[in-house]
Structure 1
Amino acid sequence: MQRKLLLLPILLFLLSEASAQSTLSVEYIMRDPKWMGVFPSSPEWSEDGKQIFFKYNLDGDPADSLYKIDLANPTQISKVHWAEEKALARPQSDTNADQSLRIYRKDHQIILEDLKKKTSTTLFEWHEPVSNLKFLANENRIAFNSGGNIYVFDRASKSTTKATNISNGNKPKEKADDKAGFLESENLQLLNVVRERKEAQEKSKAYRESIREGFDEFTYYTQGKNLSNLQLSPDERYATFSIFTPASNKNTAVPNYVDASGYTEDLNARSKVGNSPSKVEIGIYDLTRDTVYFVTTSDLPGIKDLPDYVKDYPEKTWEEKERALTLSSPTFSPDGKKAIVQIRAFDNKDRWIAELDLETGALKTLDRQRDEAWVGGPGVSGWGGGTLGWLPDNQHIYFQSEATGYSHLYLLNVASGEKKALTSGKFEVFDPFLSKDKKSWYLTTSEVDPGERHFYKMPLMGGAMEKLTSMTGNNAALLSPDEKKIAIIYSYSNVPAELYVQDNKAGAKAQQLTSGQSEEFKAYSWREPQIVRFTAQDGAQVPARLYLPEASKKNGAAVIFVHGAGYLQNVHKWWSSYFREYMFHNLLTDLGYTVLDIDYRASAGYGRDWRTGIYRHMGGKDLSDQVDGAKYLLAEHGVTPGKIGIYGGSYGGFITLMALFNHGDLFTSGAALRSVTDWAHYNHGYTANILNTPEEDPIAYRRSSPIYFAEGLQGNLLIAHGMVDVNVHFQDVVRLSQRLIELGKDNWEMAVYPVEDHGFVEPSSWTDEYKRILKLFNSTLLDKQQ
């Protein structure tokens, strides 16, 4: 009888586990994504606004092809023949101010299209490569680049002139003395034919110079430097260009052990953080004065400012000097009389927008955005990128800034310096652009909710925003050429992307044009995760996706998922780019797990303070948000202590390592996928923003890198990594594994994937990896007593 009583709890446990089943399996959900159906992407309008083209794959091709829908018959989806697709291409094209004319190159011909009359005319032929075709302020004149110089075609005279004279070589050395030497003098006296030929050459040269009408042609020699971004001002007064001098930084090599050759081949990869800066100079070619000079930056306010973190190194002497800068190519006003330049400090703690004095190369600062962490955010991030341009009045510029803590759209009067915010509030603005008539803005924002995206229209000089889309989720909108309709790629939390179209007006109903889910995919009832907020230890409200199992299946275990990329949003109401993980979370929930997916500190979508919350300490607030999430599950959702696992890839793998190394009392097991283990071995562009450089701020790297905390491993760790990962190198986990070996840790294992880069491709690799993750959680979390 006693033996039967002892067996009863075990039997009950096995029965409860058996009851927690799922129609899903890892093998099922990690197949080639084609099993899910066909989903549209990259929509484009036909010029007449009657058709929508998009990438699709109805025929099971190896890759997506171009398809189209004619709005006159919206139920018919047809594949675009390659000949039609080729005819649609308009490489090297530009439109005039009112977008009634377009120029483009086809083969060797430069063609002018009248978009209203639907006629085409060949303007001229040019048998050399052409780039940067554009209408000038005088729209009868067209500029283009060829052979490293700018040419201008005049539509009235049908003539082409060379506007610049640039040579990618060294300036010829002037002869110190043309006087003939002894040997030449003797030769000319002795040999009549040689003397006569010499005299004929000199007469010919003198004649050629006499017919040049006294014009001594100016040539700018680049001295072999890399010249790029050559452009002509719309008024044809100046040309500008960039001189790029790359830094000589050591790149790393990633061995490919399964190269088709049968030999181990090295893949060239990025350099590591702390590399020296490349140099960018902006040259101005004055076409009237025949001279070239360069933009001067020494007068920028704060160019010598030291960062705040220097106070943590009192023993070090910090030299006050001009910081290295990156300059964008000048952006000209429509009339070409003015130009602005965006300048970024190489340490990315300053962004200046300045007016360029084209006559002298001097800069007048119009706006300075300083961030002791790093300058970034929607429409702001990127070297020389982001939102920046002129209004048609040639007086106002527009740009985005995080001056209020959220990325908003601003106007600035160049003459008066007056700055005006066109949008404001605790939301962010994405991809603003001007309407064709230049009277309105179109923009996407998160005003409704951080987890939604909607399309708006707003008056040019500011005012109320008119919300044009209404479907809850993500509305990726594309206006038709006549701006009468909107094509929308729309998705919801549990509904993959489909193509819709609606009239361009508030309240208009969106019509669904595609329906690509397979019957197999639709057979399962995919969950709509709850969006919750829990309180972090510093009082912040942390957003998360929550998956709750049915009460009858609940096993007291929980898994926390950590998204990658750091600056990325995954707590939202649209179909996630982490769709495999989303399906895996449905599987886990079927099995009785509670799943939490957190937009931790540094995630996108919540403004500047959230974005920079990890400055100088990765594994700080981003990690404590996972800890507080685990405590939230324990307190609010009946999760059993000792039954919490954590996993994630890339940045998520890094956090998983930090969680197991620092909070083994809370996290019993974790799977670290393609994880950074030492930030001093990652790239410069990403890491230096957050942690500065290891040479200048070693404190930040020491407290942010998992390899320094490996002795804290208590729970069960799975490391998984692709061996040809050129982003987070396999070397990262090799070094960590050696550290774990030396520490005598035996509660970890590593799975390696010989043919995989950072983002896995092969379904077999995805399947193997997630079978191991599920096995880890099942074996370490579900054998805990309830």
Structure 2
Amino acid sequence: MFLKKKAIAIAVLSIVVAGGVQAQTKANELSVEKIMRDPKWIGTSPSNVFWSEDSRNIYFSWNPDGNRKDSLYVVGTDGKTIKKVTAATRRSLPSQFGAYNKSKSRKVFEKNGDIYLLDIKSGKTTRVTNTVERESNPGFTFDEQEITFIRDNNLYAWTIANGQLAQLTDFRRGRKPADGEEKDPQRVWLRKQQLELLQIVREREADKAAAKKQQLADAPSRPLEIYLDEKQVSSIVLSPDERFITYSLISRPRNAKITIVPDFVTSSGYTEDINTRTKVGDAQSTYEFFVYDTHKDTTFAVTLKDVEGIYDVPVYQLEQNKKASIAKDVADAKSKRAEMRASTIYGPYWSENGKHAIVVARAADNKDRWILALDPATGALDLLDRQHDDAWINGPGISYGAGDIGWMPDNESVWFHSEESGYSHLYAVNVRTGQKKALTSGKFEVSDVQLSKDKKHFYFTANKIHPGERHFYKMPVNGGEMVQLTTQPGAYEVQLSPDEKMLAYRYSYSNKPWELYLMENKKGAKPRQVTSSLTDEFKAYNWRDPEVISFKAEDGVDVYARLYQPENKKEKGPAVIFVHGAGYLQNAHKWWSSYFREYMFHNFLVDQGYTVLDIDYRGSAGYGRDVRTGIYQFMGGKDLSDHVDGAKLLVEKYNVDPKKIGIYGGSYGGFITLMAMFTEPDVFAAGAALRSVTDWAHYNHGYTSNILNTPQTDSLAYAKSSPIYYAEGLKGALLICHGMVDTNVHFQDVVRLTQRLIELGKDNWELAVYPIEDHGFTEPASWTDEYKRIYKLFEENLKDK
């Protein structure tokens, strides 16, 4: 009897233990519903990290309690005691943005539309303005006796010693009133008659003239009235000697047509229209750059008319001329145009000693970027560096505007980024001699550059070790050894303390979300982890560390990718290729991806037996100029063939069934998915195109015109690159998902493609719409519905029936 009871007890215990193991295993399992919940289930990483001005505290946004919104937290340099900042303390903190005096003992900043002056040593803050109007762009004058700022599009100066306020510009909206000098013959005759006949008219006209003369004598320093007509003024800059004020005028196009996006689910119950943007090739704003000489009380435009390349015709247009059977000598003769290319001038940027000024100019077609020395007295420009690309100018530190640029400690040279070597690197050029020097070099990219406080070193981020790692470096200001300060593989977002003794940084790895760390600013220093943000539920699953691999594309270029493989892979199993969005973005790296939901979904797919490949295709960031511009004039060309080559790799090396490969992605990834399903139907059995561009002629100007030029000047590039032209090629199963209030890639894109598929008689596709979602989904229910559909698509088309 005892043995029987013991046996029963052991059996019951076994059931309990087995049930516990089963329950734990089930708790660790992934599902679409679990992954796509509010991201707070993962834990909220710290963000928006900044230092106090005295280098004693680090502030950051965080949400360890899973509240509706993040709160501001603070921790000392020991990294031990984290405290939530009270609302009163938060409101009293100076803005993390602003301008410093030369010694960095004072800081001026804007907060809630008013200007404040901070004495850093004492911590005392002085309120400079207290108005209902917004003041912005504060700075110190060269002698540091005044603070300048912008109010109602005019420049003001506030004297620190006595609080006296002076208006330095007088920009006025509208047209300049008539100066009183009548030109019409009939009116001139009547005026002359009145003056000749009537004494009182002569006296009153004389009184007006005397009053105006007296007014000018009483206020001799009144700024020149500058009328803007219908233009907008921006970028108002005072020269160090306070003689010159430079500014830009923006002319908005009158005939540009704005696309309307209807919003159907509103609180009013009515459909409401959202004004969004123009389409590529529509009329664009134009820019002019002026100098106001306060000594001469005159203003004049600065022109690029004598700058090298300003009249050049883009290469693609010359090639079109040749293809049109124009003789070579004629085509060459037309390599220059009669009018200047539209362009924008940024700056000026003055040297710290106030003796030199430089500006950056960019052509509107973005094929040229010039760095020029400016003589403000004459408007003369001296070319220091011309960056030209037959495709388009971009890259880390270059971007779309002025780019990152600054003065070297000698006050005669400026540092800047250039892709001259094929990768974005640091250069310096002397404004007197024009001598240029490369400060960094190699097959890697440099970004986030800053000068040290003593101006003896540069600090920057670079992917020197591996394209998928971003480390923090210190280097002598004139070039030399790059000292790597961070060590663990992954990525670092570093904030250097004001005294430059400490580094506060966010760090992440492929399967570890961002956390905050502190470290002394020296090589070999041991970092201290400050935050621990992940929930127990998230940590319960063994998140995969995807292998970062590379393979040769059909043209011999190295293509990098993330590879996820099942532990017990079946013979000839299914695979999914993910296509990241944005085009110019990197995802085959060793840090926590901004596509974290997709990362989790890939773990889920691997659990279900799929192999997953995530490719940094041609056009992606992190790999230099040739990869960046590899899609010029043909999106859906090399970027798509890289995915076809990836599919081939899966079959030949990773034992994937060639008939069981799916593809999916959002935005640019959705576009590639459509191109894959339409033009490579024998490679991809199923595809999910999310918020996808279907016709590039309907996308925005700033992004698209760089890559494909404009529809009216390069129609072939648009026809080659737009999926809507290839829809007849669809064979496999296609899922299309799109938000109806997408203000980036408009819902109209998929509506037009839908009509095209209907007219072609295609029946192997479906469209899922999301009535309240913009380009980036926000609601967990939408994410869940979308990815359940994606998973169903793959299960039904890539798995054995």
Is this a same-fold pair by TM over 0.5?
yes
Assess if the C-alpha contact under 8 Å between 1:92 and 1:131 holds in 2: no
Q: 1:327 aligns with which of 341, 345, 359?
A: 345
Q: Please give the alpha-carbon distance, in whole angstroms, between the structure 1 residues aligned to 2:136 and 2:64.
A: 36
Q: What SS is found at the alignment partner of 1:330?
A: strand
Alignment of 1:3-82 (within 5 A): 23-72=29-78, 74-82=79-87
Farther off after superposition, 152-161 or 521-530: 152-161
Partner of residue 522, structure 1: 539
Q: Please give the alpha-carbon distance, in whole angstroms, between the structure 1 residues aligned to 2:127 and 2:609.
A: 69
Partner of residue 490, structure 1: 507
- When the two structures are aligned, how many residues end up with a matched partner? 759
AA in 2 matched with 1:135:
F
Alignment of 1:130-141 (within 5 A): 130-141=135-146
Assess if the C-alpha contact under 8 Å between 2:736 and 2:766 holds in 1: yes
Offset of 1:764 from its aligned partner? 0.6
Farther off after superposition, 404-413 or 226-235: 226-235
Whether 1:170 and 2:175 are equivalent positions in the alignment is yes
Partner of residue 3, structure 1: none
Alignment of 1:290-309 (within 5 A): 290-309=297-316
Offset of 1:145 from its aligned partner? 3.2
Q: Please give the alpha-carbon distance, in whole angstroms, between the structure 2 residues aligned to 1:712 and 1:20.
A: 43
Q: Please give the alpha-carbon distance, in whole angstroms, between the structure 1 residues aligned to 2:465 and 2:123.
A: 41
Partner of residue 351, structure 1: 369
Q: Please give the alpha-carbon distance, in whole angstroms, between the structure 1 residues aligned to 2:113 and 2:685.
A: 66
Q: Please give the alpha-carbon distance, in whole angstroms, between the structure 2 residues aligned to 1:636 and 1:340.
A: 54
Assess if the C-alpha contact under 8 Å between 2:694 and 2:750 holds in 1: yes
Q: What SS is found at the alignment partner of 2:277?
A: strand
Assess if the C-alpha contact under 8 Å between 2:94 and 2:109 holds in 1: no
Name the CA shift for 1:158/1:576 in 2 (closer, same or farther; >3 Å). closer
Partner of residue 648, structure 1: 665
Offset of 1:390 from its aligned partner? 1.6
Q: What SS is found at the alignment partner of 2:657?
A: coil
Q: Compute the TM-score of the two structures, normalised by the length of structure 2.
A: 0.90
Offset of 1:205 from its aligned partner? 2.3
Q: What SS is found at the alignment partner of 1:270?
A: coil
Whether 1:424 and 2:445 are equivalent positions in the alignment is no
Alignment of 1:445-460 (within 5 A): 445-460=462-477
Whether 1:618 and 2:624 are equivalent positions in the alignment is no
Q: 2:581 aligns with which of 561, 564, 580?
A: 564
Offset of 1:123 from its aligned partner? 7.0
Offset of 1:677 from its aligned partner? 0.8
Alignment of 1:496-575 (within 5 A): 496-551=513-568, 556-575=573-592
Name the CA shift for 1:500/1:199 in 2 (closer, same or farther; >3 Å). closer
Give ranges in structure 1 of 5+ residues lacking alignment: 1-18
Q: What SS is found at the alignment partner of 1:641?
A: strand
Name the CA shift for 1:720/1:234 in 2 (closer, same or farther; >3 Å). same
Offset of 1:223 from its aligned partner? 3.4
Offset of 1:332 from its aligned partner? 1.7
Whether 1:360 and 2:339 are equivalent positions in the alignment is no
1:117-149 Cα deviation digits (max 9, x unpaired): 444556788886433322122122333333443
Q: What SS is found at the alignment partner of 1:271?
A: coil
Q: Please give the alpha-carbon distance, in whole angstroms, between the structure 1 residues aligned to 2:659 and 2:48.
A: 46
Name the CA shift for 1:744/1:99 in 2 (closer, same or farther; >3 Å). same
Q: 2:276 aligns with which of 261, 269, 293?
A: 269
Q: Please give the alpha-carbon distance, in whole angstroms, between the structure 1 residues aligned to 2:220 and 2:38.
A: 72
Whether 1:402 and 2:419 are equivalent positions in the alignment is yes
Q: Please give the alpha-carbon distance, in whole angstroms, between the structure 2 residues aligned to 1:659 and 1:107.
A: 49
Q: Please give the alpha-carbon distance, in whole angstroms, between the structure 2 residues aligned to 1:77 and 1:288.
A: 55
1:513-571 Cα deviation digits (max 9, x unpaired): 01111000000000000011112111112111000102256661000000111000000
Farther off after superposition, 346-355 or 74-83: 74-83
Q: 1:234 aligns with which of 232, 240, 246?
A: 240
Give ranges in structure 2 of 5+ residues lacking alignment: 1-24, 183-187
Q: What SS is found at the alignment partner of 1:642?
A: strand
Q: 2:744 aligns with which of 717, 727, 733?
A: 727
Assess if the C-alpha contact under 8 Å between 2:114 and 2:136 holds in 1: no
Q: Please give the alpha-carbon distance, in whole angstroms, between the structure 1 residues aligned to 2:665 and 2:142.
A: 53
Whether 1:245 and 2:262 are equivalent positions in the alignment is no
Q: Please give the alpha-carbon distance, in whole angstroms, between the structure 2 residues aligned to 1:121 and 1:20.
A: 60
Alignment of 1:747-786 (within 5 A): 747-783=764-800
1:4-53 Cα deviation digits (max 9, x unpaired): xxxxxxxxxxxxxxx99981110111111111112111101122222211
AA in 2 matched with 1:96:
N
Q: 1:312 aligns with which of 303, 311, 320?
A: 320
Q: Please give the alpha-carbon distance, in whole angstroms, between the structure 2 residues aligned to 1:698 and 1:134.
A: 47
Partner of residue 637, structure 1: 654
Name the CA shift for 1:640/1:422 in 2 (closer, same or farther; >3 Å). same
Assess if the C-alpha contact under 8 Å between 2:110 and 2:137 holds in 1: no
Farther off after superposition, 85-94 or 500-509: 85-94
Q: Please give the alpha-carbon distance, in whole angstroms, between the structure 2 residues aligned to 1:439 and 1:485.
A: 17
Assess if the C-alpha contact under 8 Å between 1:22 and 1:591 holds in 2: no
AA in 2 matched with 1:312:
Q
Assess if the C-alpha contact under 8 Å between 1:662 and 1:712 holds in 2: yes
Q: Compute the TM-score of the two structures, normalised by the length of structure 1.
A: 0.91
1:400-459 Cα deviation digits (max 9, x unpaired): 000000000111000000111111100000110111122211111111111111111111
AA in 2 matched with 1:176:
E
Partner of residue 688, structure 1: 705
Name the CA shift for 1:169/1:729 in 2 (closer, same or farther; >3 Å). closer
Assess if the C-alpha contact under 8 Å between 1:20 and 1:553 holds in 2: no
Partner of residue 380, structure 1: 398
Offset of 1:729 from its aligned partner? 0.9
Farther off after superposition, 124-133 or 419-428: 124-133
Whether 1:254 and 2:271 are equivalent positions in the alignment is no
Q: What SS is found at the alignment partner of 2:259?
A: strand
Whether 1:664 and 2:681 are equivalent positions in the alignment is yes
Q: Please give the alpha-carbon distance, in whole angstroms, between the structure 1 residues aligned to 2:110 and 2:27.
A: 61
Whether 1:675 and 2:680 are equivalent positions in the alignment is no
Q: What SS is found at the alignment partner of 1:116?
A: coil
Farther off after superposition, 112-121 or 357-366: 112-121
Partner of residue 12, structure 1: none
1:456-509 Cα deviation digits (max 9, x unpaired): 111111111111111210111101111110001000000001000000001111
Offset of 1:104 from its aligned partner? 4.2
Q: 1:279 aligns with which of 270, 281, 286?
A: 286
Offset of 1:382 from its aligned partner? 1.2
Offset of 1:773 from its aligned partner? 0.6
Assess if the C-alpha contact under 8 Å between 1:452 and 1:574 holds in 2: yes
Assess if the C-alpha contact under 8 Å between 1:235 and 1:335 holds in 2: no
Assess if the C-alpha contact under 8 Å between 2:54 and 2:120 holds in 1: no
Name the CA shift for 1:513/1:700 in 2 (closer, same or farther; >3 Å). same
1:328-387 Cα deviation digits (max 9, x unpaired): 132122233321111111111111111112111121111101101100100111123x11
AA in 2 matched with 1:293:
F
Q: Please give the alpha-carbon distance, in whole angstroms, between the structure 2 residues aligned to 1:21 and 1:39.
A: 23
Q: What SS is found at the alignment partner of 1:558?
A: strand
Offset of 1:635 from its aligned partner? 0.4
Q: Please give the alpha-carbon distance, in whole angstroms, between the structure 1 residues aligned to 2:27 and 2:654.
A: 21
Name the CA shift for 1:120/1:667 in 2 (closer, same or farther; >3 Å). closer
1:726-773 Cα deviation digits (max 9, x unpaired): 111111111111111111111111111111111111111111111111
